[in-house]
Each structure stands twice: as structure tokens, then as C-alpha cells.
Structure 1
Amino acid sequence: MAELGVSGVGLGRADSGGGAGRAGADPLLPQEENGVDGRAIRVGTRRSQLARIQTDSVVTMLRELYPDLHFEIVAMSTTGDKILDTALSKIGEKSLFTKELENALERNERENPLDAVVFHPKNCGKTLSLLPEKSVIGTSSLRRAAQLKKKFPHLEFRDIRGNLNTRLKKLDEKEDFSAIILAAAGLKRMGWENRIGQLLSPEDCLYAVGQGALAVEVRAKDQEILNMVSALHDADTVLCCIAERAFMKRLEGGCSVPVAVNTLLKDGQLYLTGAVYSLDGSDSLKETMQTGVSYPHQNEDGPNDDVQHVGITAKNVPGQAQEAAENLGVELASLLLSKGAKHILSVARQLNDAR
């Protein structure tokens, strides 16, 4: 019996993709059989409603592609699901929502990666700039808070935990928050797009690495399953996410520091904007770089077929394009580091630990 897993990326590792966290699945249980020979595929997922919606959407596509296979969905709780009384940035653990669920990464097409504002019913029709002085905004993300504190200094920001349902209930039924910030992708996948009161442009708030993307994760050496799920790849999403993940990896980013990105692929050029922030947003570095990613597809049995780029195996995307995307992320991060990003992030991490 083979196994894989699905969830939302973005929450990137560092941040919520609609309250879900990063994506994926590690083998759920040790198995003697690998691949599809057993004609049964176990699909691991977090127990949250959003994770199940995302998993169901991917399994539906796989069932259409492979009608002779049986797919079994197995729900499980992750570290991030179990610790709800502590801010994500304070837990001090990477892969909070995927440590029990991850190995090798595959991508599906990306949803809108932008952040969205959901307002308390009494503030419907407003924007963040129109909220009264000292209005409290809920977010569990240092990245969002750092950027928005600088953009909207008249607002206060407070941590809020829980899945999407829990956060919306806290917003609607209490007077603690005037609005909360969530990923637009998560709201849309849950069918709650009508709750979006304001979409935050990249000028207002750069998003999290991988936010809005879906991932299918399988064992790194399980070639049969890797071949099977390769049909779900979206090449543009793969290249954007490789660049974003390489950027964050080079910076050694995570939940405890504010790191943000924005990517655009147009006319064979991949543009990556990356930034780092102090906790209050007063100190920041932001740069944009680009690279060409127009390469012909190599032969199916080419030498780059099994190469991973920052944990991503994408068999239907040219290896040279993937390498270019990874180099872009590394070079942009290196540029920020040369301008003092390490100091900004070190101070942010120390201040967050001391809170």
C-alpha cells in the first residue's frame, strides 16, 4: 500500500495559507509495500475542515486519472493543531502543521496567494485605513503584523489562534477584534469568499512563502507514486514556489521571523520580490530580482528527472528552469544578507523569544 498526503502550503511553513500551515504528508505508518502494486493509496491529511476540502479536491482529480485505484483518506492531528494556547511564532518548531506529514513535495495549481481582511460585522464596508484609532486586528503571523504595523500605525495587532472556523467565530461573536487577517486562498476553498472585506495588495502586505499553493507529498524514493501525481503539476506554480522556498531557506526563515515574498512569471521571466522586517516593521529590506525560465522540456528519461529543488520534485518541469528559479531565490536572499538582513532577523528572533 502506498501513501501520500495533501494540504495547503503557506501557511508557508512560516505562515498560514488560510489557517492550515504548510502542506503534506510523511508516510503515515511503515509499510512493507511501496507504489501502486497494492492498488490502494492512503492519503494523509490534517483533520481541519480546510485541509479535508483541499485533500478531497486532489483525491477527486487522482480518481479521475486513475479510476482503477482505491484512495483512502486518513486524517491525523499535527503539532500545530494540538498546541492552541501559544502563538505560532513562540512554539519554536518548524513544520508545525506538517512534521507528522512530510517528505517529498509536489505542487498543484496555485490559488490567489494574497492576504485578506475579514471584518467584524459592525465594520462591514470599511477598510483597514478607515477603522477607528486603536482598533484591534487579529493575526498569528509576524510577517503580516510587521508589515501592517508600519502601513497602518493607528491599529493594534494581537495574536489569534485556531482554525478558520474558530477564528471567524471569535471575530463574529466577541468584541475582541475589529478584523482579522487570513489567506484569501483558505477562505475561497472553504466557500467563504464573501467574507473577504479587503484584499491586501503586495504593496500593502507581501505574502508568505508558498501561500495559496497546494502540495502532494510522497516518499522521496517512491517513484511510482511520484510518477502518478506528476500529472497534477502546474509548472508556473512549481517555479514560483521553488524560488520562494530557496529564498526562505537561504535566510533561514521560519515562523519566528517576518519574511515575505511576491512572485510573478510573465513572458518567460520569473520575478521575485523578497523582504525581511523587524517585528514592528520599522526596519526592513526589500529587493526584486528576475531570471529567465524558458527552457525546453528535457526527455522523459533525462538526467534531471529525479533532482529535487528545495524539497520539490517536479518531473514535468524542465530541470534548467527549476535550477534557475532556485538560484534566483538564493541570489535574492544573499543580496538582502549583504545589506544587513541577518541582523534584522536576528533581532526579530531575539525579541520574539523574549516576549
Structure 2
Amino acid sequence: MRIRLGTRKSALARVQAESVAKLLRELDPTLTVETVLLGCVGDKDKHTSFQDIGNVGVFTKSGEEALLNREVDVVVHSLKDLPTVQPEGLVLASVPKREDPRDVLCGLKFDDIRSNHHKIGTGSIRRAAQLRSFFPDIEIVPVRGNVPPRLRRAVDKNGIDATILAAAGLKRLGLFEDSMECLNPQIFPYAVAQGALGIECRQGDRDILRLLKAIECKKSRAETDAERSLMKYLNAGCNLPVGVCSTWKNTMLYMKATVTGVDGLKQIVDYATTCTYGVEEMGKVLAERLLDKGAGELLRACTVNSNRKKVESLLKA
């Protein structure tokens, strides 16, 4: 059996795709897995902010189009990039074991950051907002692009003193070092589904669905289903200031969720557990609680077109 596996062209995307190909080959050594490189808007334009190019599906749409056009059989995504609503005929078939979901501070230690003394590079509104909740006057420098050049800017002190990157990407690329600081997710919650891969395929491809389900990690699927349910019911995209921290106690999943104002002045927090709800229902209930506390207003400040200049100015302040 031959499987055409689609992926973005970046070094990290290729490593992620190869990890899935390896799992499939180990499951069935008779499989032929062929990697197909796909372009996307997010890779072609590394300078425009996600708010201006449209952050929903910016890294995933081309892969989904390739699936629908039968140019590939499966696509490997960074699951945090995949919209919660998929095109008709496609399905999120599998979530393999999740890598470390935490954020990592590269170039400085968290306790050494001082307002107005250090420049932190990030293109993430969530990370910028969460930093401002600790350091209200910190200078944020908008930075986009692949992991290695962003890390290099922090190491070389090229216009920034530090940057925040995902632990998963650094570890998958072999770039993580002990000198880097993994941020405590209880106080610096990570993005929804960060560190997880999502494997998408056509709904009717039963043989492929069976193979993909066999390489799925049940705990990782439960975590990310709960987190993505939260994002769906908040009606929030992947680059908005929504943070989560999912932990297990025996068979029970606990989730902390936060929505942070882009200026860092207000943060709304709530918690839920599967003791009371199923994973998707837990995400829905948690979203409703956050909205009842005013999370919708904080999110709208980042998404309404008339506020885009305000958001950009806050990022650069």
C-alpha cells in the first residue's frame, strides 16, 4: 500500500512528517510512504501579521485542498494551526503522542526580564499579552518566520534580547538546550494543542483511517479535543490570546484556561475536569464560563477590523 503524505516545506514540518511516516512504517513495514511538499500562505509571507493575512487556516488550507483534490492521501499538521471546523469530507483522523507543550524563553531567564530594559521578540499575541501581564511596560518586537532564524536572532542579540518558542519545535529540531527556560504552564499557559500533531485525511478512506487510528495516543487526543472544543466555543483562532494547561491525575483530565487582554491588564481564568464532563463538553462548559466573565470582549479587541491598528501598536509598544 502506498500513502502520499503531505506536509509544509519548513524544516520543522518535514521532521514532523517524517515522525509520522516512521510510525506508519513501524506499524506496517510493507507500506510505502511518500512525502509530498506543499506550499502555504503562511510560509510564503513571513512578514505580514497573522491578523492582516487572516490567521484561520493560514498554514493548513493548501494541505486540505491537496486532500480534496486527491493529490495526497494524508496531511500532517501542527495541530495548533488546524481550524476546529474542517472542510466537508475531511476528518482529523489521528493525534500521535504529544511532545512537550510548554513555551520556552530563549536568550534570558524569566526572572531577569525587566520592563523597558529588554526587547522580547514574538509574533504571537498570546505570548505578548501574557508577558505584559507580568511586565506591563516591556517592549515587544514582532518576529515571524521559522524556528532556527528566530532562535538565532535571540542568541545573536540581533534587535532582540530574547524570544519565546515552543518546546516541541525546539526538541524536534534538536535545538533545545539546558540554558533555555521552560515556562511553568500554570502561570504561562501554552496555546491550544501546542506540541501535538494532527493527521488529516479523507473521511471515506477506511484503510488509511484504520492505520492512522492505530498510531494515535488516546491521552493526547483527549487533551487536544478538550482544548480545541474550548477554542471552538470561544470562537477564537489559533493566534488569539487563549492559553491552556492540561494535566492528568490518574484517569482524570484537568484543564486550566485563560484569556488575556492584549495589553496584559486583564486576565480571565477558569478550570474544569473530566470528573464532571466528557472532554468536548468540558471545553464547551469552560468556554461558556470564560465568556460569562467577559472573555468575549477581550477576544473581540483582537479580531475586529477596526481594532487591528490598535493591536499592532500594542505589540510594538
Q: Structures share a fold, TM > 0.5?
A: yes
Matches within 5 A, 1:159-308: 159-194=142-177, 197-255=180-238, 257-292=240-275
Q: Residues 184 and 196 of structure 1 are in contact (CA less than 8 Å); yes or no, is this contact kept in structure 2?
A: no
User: Which amino acid in 1 is paired with 2:113?
Assistant: L
User: Which amino acid in 2 is paired with 1:104?
Assistant: V
SS of 1:45's equivalent in the other structure is strand
State the alpha-carbon separation in 1 of the partners of residues 15 and 257 from structure 2.
30
- Is 1:337 paired with 2:291? yes
SS of 1:143's equivalent in the other structure is helix
Partner of 1:9: none
- Is 1:328 paired with 2:282? yes
Matches within 5 A, 1:18-37: none
Partner of 2:101: 113
Deviations 1:40-90 (A, max 9, x none): 110001100011111111111211211112111011111110111212233
- Is 1:131 paired with 2:145? no
State the alpha-carbon separation in 2 of the partners of residues 270 and 226 from structure 1.
26
SS of 1:201's equivalent in the other structure is coil
Partner of 1:143: 126
State the alpha-carbon separation in 1 of the partners of residues 57 and 179 from structure 2.
27
Q: What is the aligned counterpart of 1:104 among 91, 110, 122?
A: 91
More helix by share: 2
- 1:237 deviates by 0.5
State the alpha-carbon separation in 1 of the partners of residues 294 and 168 from structure 2.
32
- 1:233 deviates by 0.9
Q: Residues 117 and 196 of structure 1 are in contact (CA less than 8 Å); yes or no, is this contact kept in structure 2?
A: no
Q: CA RMSD for the aligned pairs?
A: 1.8
Deviations 1:254-285 (A, max 9, x none): 14531111111222211111111111111221
User: Which amino acid in 1 is paired with 2:91?
Assistant: A
Q: Residues 256 and 349 of structure 1 are in contact (CA less than 8 Å); yes or no, is this contact kept in structure 2?
A: no
SS of 2:246's equivalent in the other structure is strand
- Is 1:70 paired with 2:43? no
User: Which amino acid in 2 is paired with 1:99?
Assistant: K
User: Which amino acid in 1 is paired with 2:103?
Assistant: D
User: Which amino acid in 1 is paired with 2:135?
Assistant: F
State the alpha-carbon separation in 1 of the partners of residues 229 and 152 from structure 2.
36
Partner of 2:301: 347
SS of 1:153's equivalent in the other structure is coil
State the alpha-carbon separation in 2 of the partners of residues 101 and 195 from structure 1.
35
TM superposition score normalised by structure 1: 0.75
Deviations 1:91-117 (A, max 9, x none): 223011111124321100011100001
Query: Using a 3 Å threshold, how does the CA distance of structure 1 residues 83 and 341 change in structure 2: closer, same or farther?
Result: same
- 1:347 deviates by 2.1
SS of 2:177's equivalent in the other structure is helix
Count of residues paired in the alignment: 282
**Percent of pairs identical after alignment?**
39
- 1:223 deviates by 1.4
TM superposition score normalised by structure 2: 0.84
Partner of 1:93: 55
Partner of 1:156: 139
